[in-house]
Amino acid sequence: MGSTAGPPDATYGFIGLGNMGFGMAKNVRQKIPSSSKMIVCELNKSARDEFCNTIEGTLETAESPKEIAEKCDIIISSLPNAKAVEIVYLDPSTGLLAGCSKDSKKLFLETSTIEATASLGVLKKVQEAVPSAEFLDAPVSGGIPPAHAGTLTFMVGGPEDVFEKAKPIMSTMGKAENLILCGGSGAGLATKQINNYIAYCSYVALCEGMNTGLKFGLDPKTLNNVINASSGQCWNSIHMNPVKGVCANSSASRDFKGGFKVELAQGVTRQMTKLMEEVGAKSMFGPVMDDIWARAVESPMCREQESRSIFRLFAEENGSSLGKVKVE
């Protein structure tokens, strides 16, 4: 399984067919050898049935992660939170480790965005139970459309030789040039959390700037064009301007329906504020970001909406849904 070869002919297990996992699993099935078997495990029956009924190629379903471990050589997981990852791996009755013999030679590619400390805890259990297994924390970035397009970025933590072995597999889901080894175990997740935090901090600034421009009477498209041609440019100003009609494919164009919800954004932001606390890094924006998301998940303007709906907290009701920050 060298980095220049295609994905190996093996039995693949994929656990989690949610917003990201569905597209990722689709690309794995389409790009691995036609002779390879793929077994999927998903609690949501409608998502599982939709996948099996719409994706071409040899497919089977498993009732539990344990069954995946018993039958598969390469196991990919895409799960919503650390608790789900711990259950999938560690449940004594249904978990992956329950289906592994001590000398199992499995490759675990764990792509969920969870706390680095939680991932390291799972890794320790894997190493104790299955010393010959290989494990990478490999969170992804890009969102749902790139998950379906197979153009994700992978931020990977783990041994370099395992990373090289896994590259042909990750290449089925992401751009080859965007498979990045960030360091040892946990480094992929720490990198992802830092990236997410910076993106959301810049989005809050974009919300403030666009709302100010609207109140001043500026044309929002012109304002955004200037931002994107100047030093204020950021990923969100290019792709996800919060003013409807400015970016054709932004979540604002869909009235913030679907996509990565505010509840999930609150979770990934808290992962970063927790990481800063754990490593003793000074933070000024952290408490502000925590406060914004806490208000968003309680507000009818944002609850259960796509995460960039927090623009409404700035633009509607004169920002009365937001708090005040006191600098001591």
Please give the positions annotated as active site.
192
> Got the DSSP string for 53-114?
HHS-S-EEE-SSHHHHHHH-SEEEE--SSHHHHHHHHH-TTTSTGGG--TT---EEEE----
Angle subtended at Cα 12 by Cα 11 and Cα 17, rounded to the nearest 5 degrees: 150
Q: In the chain, which ranges are E strands?
A: 11-15, 37-41, 59-61, 74-77, 107-110, 134-137, 140-141, 152-157, 174-183
Find the largest Cα–Cα distance for the chain. Answer: 67
**Which position has the token pair 């998301």?**
293
Q: Which residues contact 98 (CB under 8 A, 6 or more apart)?
A: 66, 69, 91, 92
Dist. CA 260–CA 50, nearest whole Å? 20
Residue the block writes with tokens 């901090």? 201
Q: Which of 308, 320, 311 is nearest to 207 (CA)?
A: 311
CA distances from 291 to 21, 86, 212, 323 (A): 29, 28, 21, 8
Q: Helix, strand or coil for residue 179?
A: strand
| Residue 106: closest CA among 154, 151, 169 | 169
Q: Could you tell me which of 313, 305, 306, 309 has the C-alpha nearest to residue 288? A: 313
- Which tokens in the block code for residue 172? 């089925």
Neighbours of 222 (CB within 10 A): 11
State how far the Cα of 321 lies from the Cα of 311, in Å rounded to an integer: 11
